[in-house]
């Protein structure tokens, strides 16, 4: 066996030594050139929930988490969730939610990831100065934000980290007076129309959230909140 292999290996070594680009000398021992063919580390998806790390708490205090917030920080969880963006690239985003739904969200987002369900972005609302409007305009998926309901004084389910908004631009909130939030989502109000990233009863998001016991804002009667799932 070895007698046959050795000549073959020698021949291969000689051949590979001849593969240099013509005109270029081979510099033995020189560092490998940094070119686009370099192997990149494989993407490792994450679906984790931890207590709020100090660095994240610092970002939240006085922004999504005001001093008078009536939900203890210990009741909230910091999630790292992987997803496929609209260009089909895997990404890992950040989310804060109530501990009571952390496991649901990790399971749901793992299923969405496995199905390559497209999500524009998943960033903390603090990156938008806790502005729900700015986050929606950016089509950002988010959960916790200590705020009142849009146009009302009552605390939102988002204030407890028990509600999540998905791809809000294509799935706007339509208040009882017909106002569209975000306003940029006006062209997506007609739900009889077919367009990408629409959440309806045939959508995977709808199916998974319902399976985990969430209700959908698109089923409300007085207003319609197509982006919204809550428990």
Q: Which residues bind Zn ion (CB under 5 A)?
A: 163, 165, 228
Closer Cβ to Zn ion, 53 or 176, answer by number: 176
Closer Cβ to Zn ion, 52 or 163, answer by number: 163
Q: How far is the CB of 118 from Zn ion (least distance, A)?
A: 19
By beta-carbon distance, which residue lies closest to Zn ion?
Answer: 228
Q: How far is the CB of 223 from Zn ion (least distance, A)?
A: 11
Closer Cβ to Zn ion, 91 or 150, answer by number: 150
CB contact set of 172 (below 8 Å; sequence gap of 6+): 136, 180, 181, 182, 185, 186, 188, 189, 226, 227
Closer Cβ to Zn ion, 3 or 154, answer by number: 154
Q: How far is the CB of 41 from Zn ion (least distance, A)?
A: 35
Whether the CB-CB separation of 143 and 105 falls below 8 Å is answered with yes
b/e code 91-118 from CB counts within 10 Å (16+ = b):
bbbbbbbbeebbebbbebbbbbbeeebe
| Phi/psi of residue 193, nearest 5 degrees | -75, 150
Q: How far is the CB of 150 from Zn ion (least distance, A)?
A: 8
């Amino acid at each position: 066996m070895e007698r046959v292999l050795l000549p073959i290996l020698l021949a291969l070594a000689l051949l590979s030594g001849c593969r240099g680009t013509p005109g270029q000398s081979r510099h033995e021992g020189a560092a490998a050139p940094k070119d686009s063919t370099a192997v990149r580390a494989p993407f490792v998806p994450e679906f984790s929930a931890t207590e709020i790390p100090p660095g994240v708490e610092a970002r939240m205090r006085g922004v999504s988490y005001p001093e008078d917030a009536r939900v203890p920080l210990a009741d909230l969880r910091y999630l790292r969730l992987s997803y496929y963006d609209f260009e089909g690239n895997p990404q890992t985003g950040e989310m804060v939610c109530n501990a009571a739904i952390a496991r649901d969200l990790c399971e749901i987002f793992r299923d969405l990831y496995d199905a390559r369900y497209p999500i524009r972005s998943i960033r903390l609302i603090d990156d938008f100065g806790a502005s729900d409007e700015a986050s929606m305009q950016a089509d950002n998926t988010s959960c916790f934000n200590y705020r009142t309901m849009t146009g009302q004084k009552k605390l939102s389910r988002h204030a407890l980290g028990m509600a999540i908004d998905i791809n809000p631009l294509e799935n706007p909130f339509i208040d009882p007076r017909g106002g569209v939030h975000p306003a940029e989502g006006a062209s997506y109000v007609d739900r009889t129309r077919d367009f990408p990233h629409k959440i309806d009863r045939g959508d995977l998001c709808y199916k998974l959230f319902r399976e985990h016991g969430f209700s959908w804002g698109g089923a409300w009667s007085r207003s319609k909140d197509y982006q919204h799932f809550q428990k």
